[in-house]
């Protein structure tokens, strides 16, 4: 990562702060994209003290809950900087009361998904001009419980649209669709599951109160450990794991063509292209078949009895994995469960038709063109922004 320009969203606490710290320690020039600039300045100063010579700066204010703020950040970033080698879409929230943006988008969906979609699209010219570049979407094991329902209503609904697992599923769908559209133009896009982490994401839930808070605080990984998976996804040479990713894609791609996701988006653009190199990274037990083999009932919010039993069994397995993952790593001094590697994501996440529909819906909601700016046109737009 030496000398590479990286933007990390949500870097004032938790996984984002630790990912920024680790990337800066590896020599990256890190820009903290945060809503609270004052707290971000304190984080930047802390990183510089811990790693003398680290190149860390605080970017313009970024409130992912506001499309206006996202647009302002992107415009200001282009004026300040000449390149963008890696964008880490990390910021997220959970356990909030229902709220909606002025555009009618559910709050969790806006912060966890649409804000990052719009940010990435607004910076897509810079990412192409800096190719090979990378976009990392931080997802969660819970994306395996997510569903989309009627695509046209996803952004404006509180459930499933602002149901946390569904926003994390949307992160993976977006990561894969970005790879389909811009992968051949030098933008490498992937998603990552950081595992069970004792972060602020639990605040305001039953898990933040005893006795469950004890399990989270003592058995889940600290943010610095969870950030390791994110940093791996941001920094591993893309070609190094191509064969492993290809084997996963050959098995899982197209496994779910059910329900409304089976239809193509407004315009299908990829039929003649080679199979995309889709990447989902997970660590330790979260990359094990016990967790990744869950097929789920992603399009059915009211599954039948057999599906509910299967879901409960898998849920129990995932909980056990989350409680054992970090303790095994800690007890063995990192000899077990330390590796981050490509793993299968939820079957629904490979549904290209559903991803294309969600992309087009998100473009309309963000006031962006459905087609990304490509190559020469992107370079010209970037040059104009710098002038």
In this predicted structure, what is the pLDDT of residue 363? 97
How many residues appear in the chain? 387
Report the helix count and the strand count for the chain, using DSSP H and E: 14, 8
Q: Tell me: pLDDT of 199 over 90.
A: no
- Is the distance from CB of 342 to CB of 281 less than 8 angstroms? yes
Task: Of 173, 219, 160, give the one whose Cα is nearest residue 195.
Answer: 219
Residue 192 has phi, psi (to 5 degrees) of -145, 140
Number of domains in the chain: 1
Query: C-alpha angle with apex 282: 188 to 36, nearest 5 degrees?
Result: 70
DSSP states of 298-323: TT-SS--HHHHHHHHHHHHHHHHHHH
Is the pLDDT at 32 greater than 50? The verdict is yes
Give the closest residue to 337 by CA, choosing from 276, 287, 272, 378.
Answer: 287
Which residues lie below 8 Å from residue 271, measured CB to CB, with a gap of 6+? none
| Parallel/antiparallel/unpaired status of strands 340-342 and 279-283 | antiparallel
* pLDDT given for residue 34 in this prediction: 95
Domain of residue 325 covers 5-386
Mean pLDDT (whole number) for 93-116: 93
The H or E element spanning position 25 is helix 14-25
**Residue 196 or residue 297, greater confidence:** 196
Relative to beta strand 86-89, strand 55-58 is unpaired
- Residue 173 has which token pair? 């769908």
CATH number at residue 179: 3.40.50.720
Look up the pTM and report it.
0.90
Radius of gyration of the chain from Cα atoms? 20
Which residues are part of the catalytic machinery? Answer: 164
């Amino acid at each position: 990562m030496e000398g590479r320009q990286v933007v990390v969203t949500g870097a004032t606490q938790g996984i984002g702060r630790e990912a920024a710290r680790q990337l800066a320690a590896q020599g990256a020039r890190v820009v903290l994209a945060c809503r609270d600039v004052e707290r971000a300045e304190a984080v930047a100063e802390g990183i510089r003290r811990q790693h003398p010579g680290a190149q860390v700066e605080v970017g313009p204010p970024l409130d992912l809950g506001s499309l206006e703020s996202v647009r302002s950040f992107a415009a200001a970033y282009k004026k300040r900087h000449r390149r963008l080698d890696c964008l880490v879409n990390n910021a997220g929230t959970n356990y909030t009361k229902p709220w909606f943006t002025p555009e009618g988008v559910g709050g969790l969906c806006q912060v966890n998904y649409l804000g990052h979609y719009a940010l990435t699209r607004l910076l897509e010219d810079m990412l192409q001009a800096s190719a090979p570049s990378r976009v990392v979407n931080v997802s969660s094991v819970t994306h395996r419980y997510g569903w989309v329902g009627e695509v046209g209503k996803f952004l404006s609904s509180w459930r499933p649209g602002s149901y946390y697992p569904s926003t994390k599923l949307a992160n993976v769908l977006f990561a894969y669709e970005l790879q389909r559209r811009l992968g051949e133009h030098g933008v490498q896009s992937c998603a990552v599951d950081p595992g069970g982490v004792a972060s602020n994401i639990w605040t305001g839930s039953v898990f933040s109160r005893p006795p469950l808070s004890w399990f989270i605080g003592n058995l889940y990984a600290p943010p610095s450990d969870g950030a390791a998976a994110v940093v791996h996804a941001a920094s591993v040479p893309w070609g190094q794991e191509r064969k492993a990713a290809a084997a996963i894609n050959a098995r899982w791609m197209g496994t779910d063509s059910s329900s409304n996701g089976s239809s193509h988006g407004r315009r299908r653009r990829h039929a003649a292209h080679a199979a995309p190199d889709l990447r989902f990274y997970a660590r330790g037990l979260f990359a094990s078949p016990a967790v990744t083999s869950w097929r789920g009932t992603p399009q059915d919010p009211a599954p039948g009895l057999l599906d509910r039993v299967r879901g409960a069994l898998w849920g129990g397995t995932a909980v056990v994995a989350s409680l054992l993952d970090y303790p095994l790593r800690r007890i063995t001094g990192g000899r077990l469960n330390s590796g981050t590697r490509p793993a299968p994501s939820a079957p629904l996440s490979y549904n290209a038709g559903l991803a294309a529909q969600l992309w087009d819906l998100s473009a309309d909601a963000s006031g962006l063109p459905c087609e990304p700016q490509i190559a020469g046109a992107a370079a010209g737009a970037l040059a104009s922004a710098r002038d």
